[in-house]
Amino acid sequence: MRKYVLFIIIIFTSSSEFIINSQTKNLALNVKVTKYPKLLKSTDRESIYQIDIHLINKTDSVVLFGVVSCFWQENFLSNNQCCHILGRSDCDFSSLDTMVIDPHNEISFNAGLCIDKSCVGLKRKVRVGFIFIKYSEIRTVDYESILLERRKNKSNVIWSNQIYLK
């Protein structure tokens, strides 16, 4: 009987761990890239495309998360090592902001997708990821440390639809 109870405890613990891991993969947001890449600038070294990134709350609850006002682009990454996201450069004061998305609504970021032309293995298919940091986390731990760790490990990243570069 003890073995049976132990077996049930192990199964329950593993299944609840699976549920938690599944929830981090299926967070409350969708990421969608629109304004399919419009070339803004091209040099010998790089091309910059204009994109709009939409964070869509697909739940019946409010979603709260943190970004740094002047460096919101740091919450975004690409699945392609030859690409990175550019944000605004005309910012005088930066602060940690709490972003709010009401149920079934969205917010948008106008961004640049910078492509390094000298990069070996440049792929023409790209996804943009959003590094999700819950509101409760930004108040308890160093935001920058969380962001750097998740960027490095690609954890808590919600990936967009695939976009194609010309």
Mean of the per-residue pLDDT values of the chain = 78
Residues of the chain where predicted confidence (pLDDT) is lower than 70: 1-27, 35-37, 120-123, 139-141, 166
pLDDT score for 5: 36
- Which pLDDT score is estimated for 39? 83
Three-class DSSP category at 90: coil
Rounded CA separation 71/75 (Å): 8
Q: In this predicted structure, what is the pLDDT of residue 165?
A: 74
CA distances from 21 to 24, 94, 132, 136, 156 (A): 5, 33, 14, 18, 10
Instruction: State residue 164's pLDDT score.
Output: 81
- The pLDDT of residue 98 is 87
- Give the CA dihedral 130, 51, 123, 126, nearest 10 degrees: 30
